[in-house]
Amino acid sequence: MPATDPASDTPARSALAAGLWRCRGCAAVCAPPPQALALGRTRCPRCDAVVHPRKPDAIARSWAFLLAATALYLPANLLPVTTTASIGGRQADTIFSGIVYLWKDGSWALAAIVFIASIVVPVTKLLLMSLLLISLQRQDHRWARLRLTAYRVLELIGRWSMLDIFVVTMLAALVQVESLAELRPGPGAMAFGAVVVLTMLATLSFDPRLLFDQPDDVPAPLPPALPEPAGDAP
Amino acid sequence: MSAPPDDPHDDVPTAPPAPATPPPDLPRPVIARRAHYSLWLVWLVPLLAVLIGVSLGARAILNRGPTITIYFHNAEGIEANKTHIKYKDVDVGIVRGVKLTKDHREVEVTAEMRGNSGIENLLVTDTRFWVVRPRIGAAGVSGLGTLLSGAYIGMDAGRNATEKSEFEGLDVQPAITADVPGREFTLIADDLGSLDIGSPIYLRRVPVGQVLAYTMMPDGRHIRFTIFVTAPYDRFVSAHSRFWHASGIDVDLGAQGLHVQTQSAVSVLAGGIAFQDLPDPDAAPTVTPVEAPERAAFTLYAQQSDALKLPDSQGFDYRLLFASSVRGLAVGAPVEYRGLPIGEVTRIAVDGSGGEANPEPMIAVDVRVYPRRLPTINRADHEDMTRDDQRKRMDPMVRRGFRAQLRSGSLLTGQLYVALDFIKDVPAAHVDWTTKPPTMPTAPTSLDSLQDSLASIARKLDTVPYDQLAADLHKDLVDLDASLKGVDQLVQHLDTGVVPEAQKTLADARKAVDDLRKTLGTVDQTVGPQATNALNEITRAAASLRGLADYLERHPESLLKGKPEDPK
C-alpha cells in the first residue's frame, strides 16, 4: 500500500517516478536525460557529488556486508574478548562469560545492559536487516509499513552497538599496571568490532527510498545491475 | 528506460506531468565519462569475512588441545576457568570444570590443555598432576608464589608412550620430577620410622636423593618405599648396597654397650635413609660392584649395624632349652661363637611341652645362626649348605662339647648373650634333629658353673682331717721340744763337757735330725695333696683377684663397657 497524502487522499508519488533525481549531498533536484546512467557517472550540477536515482546496487551491497557481519558474528561470540592477566593468573572472557560473571556477581543491571548492547542489538540488527532485504527483493508490498518500522528501529539501535568495543578499548588502555594486571583485547573483540562496522556499512549501503518504491512506478532510469532475488539471496 | 505512466496526483511540485521528458527548467546532472564499477568487488567483503571467521575459529579449535580429567581427593584452591595447569611453569592448560565424582569420593577436575604447546605427547600414563600450594616442610619452603596467585595444578610429564586422558592427582607435590636425571629404587622396610615423602637419602652423609613415596604392602606388614637417587650418585647403588634408617638418633643399649648413631642434623629432625656398599669379603677390593638396575628392590634395615652385617645368605634355626633364668636376654641379642657374632636370638618362650615328663618348664630360646656371617679364611663349606650338611658338621662338634651357653655381656646392665663354644667336661649330649627347629644341647650359665666349682672346693676342704692332723702335729712338736731340750743339754754339755763327748753329742743330734725328718715326712703324707691343692687354689684366686683389681684400677670404664676386644 503506498503512503497516502492525508489531505488529498491520493497516493504519494516519488521523485523518481516523476523522472527526477535528488542529490544526497546538497538536496538539489535535477532532471537526468534519458539513458543518463548508461552514459557514465552522473554528478550533481550544483555540488559535484555523485548523484543517483537510488543508491547503486543497494540491496546487493547490503547483502554482502550483512553476510560478512554474520560470518564474523560466530567468532565474535565464541572467542575471548578480553584476556586479563594478573597475579591471580590469566583469564580469557568471552562476551557471554562476562555477562554471566556480571549476573552472578549481582550486577544485574549491568549484565542486562551488556547483554542488550552486545547480544540483543547485533542480533536484532542482523535479523531485521535480512528480513528487510528479503522482503524488498520479493517485492512483497503487504509488509511495506512494517518494513518502515523495522528500518526505523534499525536506525535507532545502530548507534549503541559499539558499546562493548568502547569498554574493551578503555579498559585495555587503563588497566596496564606493569606485571600486576594487564588487560588485552582478544580475537573476539576484533571480530565483534568487525561485526559492528559491517552492520553499519550494511545499513549505510541500504537505500531507504527503496522502501517506498512501488512495483508499478519503477522509474525509467532504474539501475541496470539491480540484482534479481534468486541470484543473490544466500 | 521507460517511465511509468503519468500520475495526475504527483505531488512533486517541480515534476511535470510527463516524466519521459524531464522538465526543461531543471538542471541536468553532469555526466562524467567513467565506467561503472564492478559489482562483484563488494562480494569480496563477505568472502573475506568468512575467511577471517573460519581462520579465527580454526585457530581457536586448534588451540583448544585435548581435554583431560584429573581426580583429586579434594579441590582445595581449584576453580573452574581460573586454575591453570603448568608444566615447568609454562601454562599448558586451564581447568574447565570441577565437580564431584558419582560416588562423591573424589573431585573430578576437567581441564582443557592448550593446543600447539607440544603438551599432547606428554599426556601419558605416568604423567603426574598435583595441586601446588604453599608448603613448608623440613626439606624447605615451596609454592610461596601461590599465596598470592592462588593454587595451580603442577604437572610432571611421564616417559611412557601410551597416551591417556584420565589421571589420578597426587596429594602432595612429588619431590623429584621426571626430568631430573637419576634412578628410582624400591626399599622394603618393616616400619615407616620417622621417614616421610621428601626425606633425604645419604651416601656417606652426602644427600643424594629423596624418598618419593611409600605404600603399605598388601600383606600389611611391610612398607614399600620408592626412592630416587639423583645422577651421578645413582651408579653407586649396587647389588651390594645396604640401606638403613638414618632417622633421628638411634640409641642402642645392648649387650655390646651403648651405641649412638646419627647421620646429619637435618636427618635428626626429618629422618632419612643412608646407604653404603657392603664390602664383599670374597670379591677383590678393586672390582667395583655391578650397578643395580632401575627399580631394584632392597631391604631397608632399621639401623646401620643391621645393614652392614655380612650377607645373611643362609640362616639356620636352633632351639636352646635353658633351665636357668634368662633375665637380661632379649630378642635380637647376639649369638657369638668364641666372641664372633654369628647370629641372633629370634624368640624367647617357655617350653609348653611340660607335664609329667617335664615338671619344670624349660625356657626355649630360638636362635638363628648365619654361618656365612663369620669372617672366614680358608673357607671350606660351599654357599648353600643343606640341613644334612649342617647336621654332618654339627654332630661331631657337639660330641666334642659344642654347647650353647648364656653369658653375661656386661656386668652393669646384666645383658645376656648366647655363646656357642666347646666346653670341657660336659655330660655327653646330642642335637635333637627331630624337633623343629633342632634342639641344640646347652651348658649351664658360666656363673652357675663358677658357683658349682666353688662348692666343690668347699666340699673338698670339708673332707680334710684337721683333728688328726693337729694331733700328729702336736706330737711331733712335743718330740721336737724334747729334742730341742736334748740339744740344749748338749750345748750345756759342750759348754761343760770335753771333746770326746762331742762325738756322742753329734750322734745324738743326727738321731734327732732323723727323727725330725721322719716327723716332717709324716706331716707331708698326712696333710696330703688336699691341703696343697687348696693352698694352690687360694694362691691362684688371690692372683687373679689382684689382676682384676689392677685392671679395674687402670680401666675403671670396663665396668660399663666391658673388656674391649683384643685387636686382631
* pLDDT, tens only, A178-192: 667 777 788 888 888
State the pLDDT at residue B382. 60
Distance of alpha carbon A158 from alpha carbon B360, whole angstroms? 112
Higher pLDDT among residues B269 and B400, named by residue = B400
Say if A81 falls within a structural domain.
Answer: yes
Higher pLDDT among residues B123 and B265, named by residue = B123
Cβ of A72 within 8 Å of Cβ of B49? The answer is: yes
Distance of alpha carbon A225 from alpha carbon A199, whole angstroms? 23
Residue A35 and residue A98 share a domain:
no
Say if A3 falls within a structural domain.
Answer: no
CATH number at residue A195: 1.20.140
| CB B131, CB B77: distance < 8 Å | yes
State the pLDDT at residue B4. 43
State the pLDDT at residue B139. 58
State the pLDDT at residue B250. 65
Interface residue B22 vs chain A (CB under 8 A): yes
State the pLDDT at residue B36. 58
> Is the model's pLDDT at B561 over the cut of 70?
yes
Which of the four pLDDT bands, split at 50, 70 and 90, describes residue A99? Answer: confident
Residue A188 and residue A98 share a domain:
yes
| CB B68, CB A89: distance < 8 Å | no
Say if A2 falls within a structural domain.
Answer: no
Cβ of A87 within 8 Å of Cβ of B35? The answer is: no
In degrees, rounded to 5, the angle at the alpha carbon of residue B323 between the alpha carbons of residues B321 and B325 is: 110
Interface residue B46 vs chain A (CB under 8 A): yes
User: Which residues of chain B does A30 touch, with a Cβ-Cβ cutoff of 8 Å?
Assistant: 26-29
State the pLDDT at residue B135. 72
pLDDT tens readout for residues A30-84: 877 777 666 677 788 888 888 877 777 788 888 889 999 988 888 888 888 888 7
Residue A16: HSE in the Cβ half-sphere, 13 Å Cα cutoff? 23
State the pLDDT at residue B423. 83
State the pLDDT at residue A230. 43
Say if A157 falls within a structural domain.
Answer: yes
Higher pLDDT among residues A139 and B85, named by residue = B85
Query: How many interchain CB pairs under 8 A, A with B?
Result: 182
Comparing CB atoms, the residue among B11, B53, B148 nearest residue A87 is: B148
Comparing CB atoms, the residue among B3, B26, B31 nearest residue A219 is: B3
Cβ of A15 within 8 Å of Cβ of B12? The answer is: yes
Cβ of A61 within 8 Å of Cβ of B30? The answer is: no
* Average confidence score pLDDT of chain A: 76
Residue A198: HSE in the Cβ half-sphere, 13 Å Cα cutoff? 31
Based on the structure, what is the number of domains in chain A? 2
Residue A200 and residue A156 share a domain:
yes
Residue A66 and residue A36 share a domain:
no
Say if A219 falls within a structural domain.
Answer: no
State the pLDDT at residue B126. 82
Cβ of B81 within 8 Å of Cβ of A91? The answer is: yes
Residue A126 and residue A151 share a domain:
yes
Scanning every residue of chain A, which has its alpha carbon at the shortest distance from the alpha carbon of B91? Answer: A90
Which of the four pLDDT bands, split at 50, 70 and 90, describes residue B9? Answer: very low
State the pLDDT at residue B112. 86
Interface residue B38 vs chain A (CB under 8 A): no
Residue A180 and residue A102 share a domain:
yes
Residue A170 and residue A94 share a domain:
yes
Which secondary structure element, helix H or strand E, spans residue B510, and what is its range? helix B499-554
pLDDT tens readout for residues A115-129: 888 888 888 888 988
Distance from CA of A200 to the nearest CA of B (A): 14
Substitution target from A67, A130, A206, A232 for chain B, most B beta carbons within 10 A: A67
Distance of alpha carbon B493 from alpha carbon B500, whole angstroms? 11
Residue A191 and residue A129 share a domain:
yes
Which of the four pLDDT bands, split at 50, 70 and 90, describes residue B566? Answer: low
pLDDT tens readout for residues A184-218: 788 888 888 888 888 888 888 888 888 777 655 54
Higher pLDDT among residues B202 and B382, named by residue = B202
Substitution target from B2, B14, B36 for chain A, most A beta carbons within 10 A: B36
Say if A80 falls within a structural domain.
Answer: yes
Whole-model pTM: value is 0.48
Residue A84 and residue A48 share a domain:
no
Distance of alpha carbon B32 from alpha carbon B421, whole angstroms? 133
Cβ of A79 within 8 Å of Cβ of B150? The answer is: no
Q: What is the 3-state secondary structure (H, E, C) of chain A?
A: CCCECCCCCCECCCCCCCCCEECCCCCCEECCCCCHHHHCEEECCCCCCECCCCCCCHHHHHHHHHHHHHHHHHHHHHCCCEEEEECCEEEEECHHHHHHHHHHHCCHHHHHHHHHHHHHHHHHHHHHHHHHHHHHHCCCHHHHHHHHHHHHHHHHHHCCCCHHHHHHHHHHHHCEECCCEEEEECHHHHHHHHHHHHHHHHHHHCCHHHHCCCHHHCCCCCCCCCCCHHHHCC
Which of the four pLDDT bands, split at 50, 70 and 90, describes residue A4? Answer: very low
Residue A84 and residue A43 share a domain:
no
Residue A83 and residue A42 share a domain:
no
Say if A220 falls within a structural domain.
Answer: no
pLDDT tens readout for residues B290-349: 777 777 888 888 877 777 766 556 678 888 888 888 888 888 888 888 888 888 888 888
Substitution target from A4, A8, A13, A55 for chain B, most B beta carbons within 10 A: A13
User: Which residues of chain A does B148 touch, with a Cβ-Cβ cutoff of 8 Å?
Assistant: 87-88
Cβ of A46 within 8 Å of Cβ of B14? The answer is: no
> Is the model's pLDDT at B477 over the cut of 80?
yes
**Share above pLDDT 70 across residues of chain A, in percent, rounded to a whole number:** 76
Residue A71 and residue A48 share a domain:
no
Higher pLDDT among residues A8 and B266, named by residue = B266
pLDDT tens readout for residues B382-403: 656 677 777 888 888 888 888 8
Distance from CA of A218 to the nearest CA of B (A): 6
DSSP annotation of B238 reads: B
Say if A46 falls within a structural domain.
Answer: yes
A80: its cell numbers: 575471548
**Share above pLDDT 90 across residues of chain A, in percent, rounded to a whole number:** 0
Domain that holds residue A26: 11-53
